[in-house]
Structure 1
């Protein structure tokens, strides 16, 4: 992606659709090469590239530092490759799985609903960090770049967000202290 210039990234970040299209097209070859070296299968590599391009399309406006664009995009591919590898390792063929493993206990709908409401009630600065780290699975340095914070600030906010959620869950009777 050495051919990409910062003005193209900045224009895409500002909402220029033509710049975003050029950025998507220019990013693909390097991402594919990187994904082929990083992922365990060629199918996973294609999936990781698609995930990265989708994130680029959806979240280019949230990129705070134009110079971090390339590392941000490669990190998405790397994280997706790791996620897919973990998924493959956890997969047990159905004919080899014990019958107890085939019964999945779904998370109760009321807990999902209440947890979603609790997350929505968190102050913005805690909610953003919690979503980036625990839902989107960004690393602390990635979240720090995305939010324009230090890694220590991200860790501190994440700890506080989780503590607030834990307190709310305890108060709601989901756990006993």
Structure 2
């Protein structure tokens, strides 16, 4: 009988302690803060810090992935329908075959980045027999790549692709400065071309 009374007494004491602790945690924020600090000190801090870092990295990766999924696709493909023989000009790829995101403007021949990210651009240049041409891919007036084509025996086309990190509002276009004298266009064959696609939001 005495043992049962002791057990009951311990149970009552334990319940009272739990109830009191819950009350204190709800009513006393400072005590709750102190208790949490004590728990952290008793844990393996290095292990806990490592777990927090891992969780932080996973959250950041998921946020980037989510941003990409939320953003509408961005991609374009434009063709040139008229041959170009003059120099020092932007090439106006006038026939738009694809323009997801409406970021390419055929009137000016330029692409304006709608979002910061990693983009891939491709440029195809063509030259008539006994002529050659050099086209330059430009980002905000800076040359980021070139395409050279030409042959003495036949018409020739060459392509080049470029990976470029852009910020929102960056201006991308293709120009012909002074190297070469004839950019051949063949609308029936669908060349030359200028295209781009958003690979990843940054």
Higher relative contact order structure (alpha carbons within 8 Å, sequence separation ≥ 6): 2
Q: Please, what TM-score do these two structures have when normalized by structure 1? A: 0.21
Instruction: Decide which structure has greater helix share.
Output: 1
Q: Please, what TM-score do these two structures have when normalized by structure 2? A: 0.19
Larger radius of gyration: 2
Instruction: Decide which structure has greater strand share.
Output: 2
